[in-house]
Structure 1
Amino acid sequence: MDAGIAFLFCFIIVITAIVMGTVKEVTKRAIALKEKQIEAQKAVSAPALASDVAARLDKMEQRLRVLERIATDGGTDTGAALAREIDALRAQQEEAHGVPLNLKEKVQ
């Protein structure tokens, strides 16, 4: 009886070691797969985000140039020219659906 119990105990230990090793390998592979998926997602979304940021930056630079010109323009009939330039900026903004020029409106 003592030999049978010792054999059973050894058998249980060996089976447990095999199961634990298998679980460890499966977990390691699952983690590696998840890391690859995250890296692939970052690689795909980074250029799209960069191009979106670059486009917005270009629009803001254009607006800033117009506003600088308006502020430093000393020519005649600046009121009418100012109104035309502001209307042009608003028209561009409505087409692009970006940051509104009318800051009283809430952005949704």
Structure 2
Amino acid sequence: MWIGWIEFDLLLGDVHSLKEKRSVIRPILADLSRRTEAAAAEVGAHDLHRRASLGVSTVGADAAHVRDVLDRAERLVAERPEITLLSTRRGLAASDD
């Protein structure tokens, strides 16, 4: 079994409150969950209205499938015009590690 995760550090566009931040982040998380069939959540920068940290994780039988899911998630986030992708961090581990 392979476990993979990716974390995105995002700069949000014209956002002036935490309520506006939620209105930008929720559709992104829903899209990630739906299109990658992986778990997605806001994992950091909760109190900052122009920054967000999102995480996506998945489990699969082989490393290639897990990498494909993480690559798809990264493309989906990078294509969003309302945000700027500042950085990503990834992890991949086998269950016997």
TM exceeds 0.5? no
The structure where helix makes up a greater share of residues is 1
Greater C-alpha Rg: 1
Q: TM-score if structure 1 supplies the norm length? A: 0.28
TM-score (norm 2): 0.30
